[in-house]
Amino acid sequence: MKQNKVSFLSFLTVLSFFFLIFSYPTKKLPEDKLHEKKFNEKYSIFAINKPENLNFCSEALSIKSDDIWERMDKELLKNIYWQSNTMLYIKRAYKFFPIIEPILKANNIPNDFKYLALIESGLENVVSPSNAAGFWQILPSTARDYGLEVNKSIDERYNLEKATKVACDYLNKAYLKFGSWTMAAASYNKGQNGISRLIENQGTNNYYNLYLNSETSRYVFRIIAVKEILENPKKYGFVYRQKDLYVMPKYKEIQVDTTISNLARFAKKQGINYKILKQLNPWLRTTSMPDKSRRKYILKIPTDPSILVFDDFETPNLEE
């Protein structure tokens, strides 16, 4: 009997609770307030304010036009909210821009073109479906036309200094042809002949007025977007310390004009290993460096002992 009484009281308690919930007057929030409340409690995605004074190589980009702003906004948002990728851009730029910048300057190419290399490859030695390779994504035929060696064993598209010089030569020719660094950049993607045909067919030599394919239409906007973010990282929420950035290891350069039949043995004689030799000299594509013509090559050999992190394990004696 006592147990039944307790059960009945519990039932009344639960019934009263539901009555209070459904009968209590609630104030309905406007839809936009509910939206704001919901997302502020978790993770907010902000639209960005229009940046001022956007330009490429001091050639102004006007975002008064809705079309131009939509294209610019797209590239800014893609790079701002793909945070991991853009943070890697920032880290790698600190490592490789000091190599690229002086070569651009020596060849009278505006400094902004370092961002072209960044969007082309992410500053990694990638290969495209069309077989363009290296930081500057140079095609084999273009590389050979500009004097780079490209074969099974040696591919100088992966030599950052030489590839940057080739990119400079191409861009200087494009600028002389089109009279605009913006159009020179567009031609790096579309090709000089392709851009010339578009100008002739559409009657304008202004990149922002041309009707372009999807890739070329985005191309200069992508460059300007990464430039804007990397030059104003905190403005767009990228926070890092100096120690977080990647650095190029200290190295010496040695000149070689003979065949190296075994690069692993050569590396060991230099006090490093095969992996490190290949990382600093990615233009070496196989396990040897043939040089029948006695051509002079420059190899980078790291001098910082801390680059060798691990000692090799002893080879076990399998007979024991």
- Quote the pLDDT of residue 10: 60
- Quote the pLDDT of residue 8: 54
CB of 255 within 8 A of CB of 298?
yes
Tokens (6 digits) for 289: 């460096």
- Quote the pLDDT of residue 27: 54
Topology of domain 55-244, CATH: Lysozyme (1.10.530)
Quote the Cα angle for 220-221-222, to 5°: 90
- Quote the pLDDT of residue 1: 47
- Quote the pLDDT of residue 44: 79
Domain boundaries, the chain: 55-244, 251-307
Tokens (6 digits) for 19: 């009555």
- Quote the pLDDT of residue 304: 82
In the chain, count of helices (H) and strands (E)? 12, 4
pLDDT, block means (10 residues), the chain with 320 residues: 52 52 51 52 80 96 94 97 97 98 98 98 97 98 97 97 98 98 98 97 97 97 98 95 96 96 96 95 97 95 77 57
Q: Which helix (H) or strand (E) holds 254?
A: strand 251-256
| Residue 3 CB-density burial (10 A; 0-12 exposed, 13-18 middle, 19+ buried) | exposed
Angle between helices 66-81 and 214-231 (to 10 degrees): 60
| Entry pTM | 0.84
- Quote the pLDDT of residue 318: 46
